Amino acid sequence: MTAIYIWPEFEGSEIVRLQAAGDSGISTGNTLSMGSGVKILTLPVICRAPGPDGFFTFPYYEHTVALAFAGSTLIAQNVYLEVMPLITNLISLNKTVPSLSEIATYIGTFVKKTWNEYGYVQGKGFEIAIFGYCHVEKKFSVALFSTISTETDGMQFHTEVLNDLKAGTYIYLGSKKSEMHELLLNEISKSRAGSPTERAPRRAIKAAIDSEDFPEISGGLQLGYATCFGYRAQLVCEPVEFGKPECQYRYLNSVMTPEFLSINENIWIGTEGTI
Mean pLDDT of 259-273: 85
CA distances from 227 to 8, 108, 132, 137 (A): 10, 22, 7, 14
CB under 8 Å to 185, separation ≥6 — which residues? Answer: none
Q: Is the dihedral of CA 262, 132, 222, 273 positive or negative?
A: positive
In CATH terms, the fold of domain 3-234 is Glutamine Phosphoribosylpyrophosphate, subunit 1, domain 1 (3.60.20)
- Would you kindly state where each structural domain of the chain is located, as residue ranges? 3-234
Confidence of residue 228 (pLDDT cuts 50, 70, 90): very high
pLDDT tens profile 165-178: 988 899 999 888 89
- pLDDT for 259: 87
Structure confidence at residue 159 (pLDDT) = 85
List the single range of 27-31, 112-116, 139-143, 205-209 with lowest mean pLDDT: 27-31
Distance in angstroms (rounded) separating the CA atoms of residues 6 and 17? 10
Outline where 88-134 has alpha helix (H): 100-114, 120-122
pLDDT tops 90 at residue 101 = yes
Most confident of 1-10, 86-95, 212-221: 86-95
Higher pLDDT, 200 or 197: 200
Find residue 164's DSSP bridge partners.
none
What is the pTM assigned to this prediction? 0.88
Q: How far apart are CA 261 and CA 270, in angstroms?
A: 9
pLDDT of residue 151: 62
Amino acid 144: pLDDT: 93
Model pLDDT for residues 43-83, shown as the tens digit of each residue: 999 999 999 999 999 999 999 999 999 887 888 889 999 99
- % of the chain residues with pLDDT over 90: 44
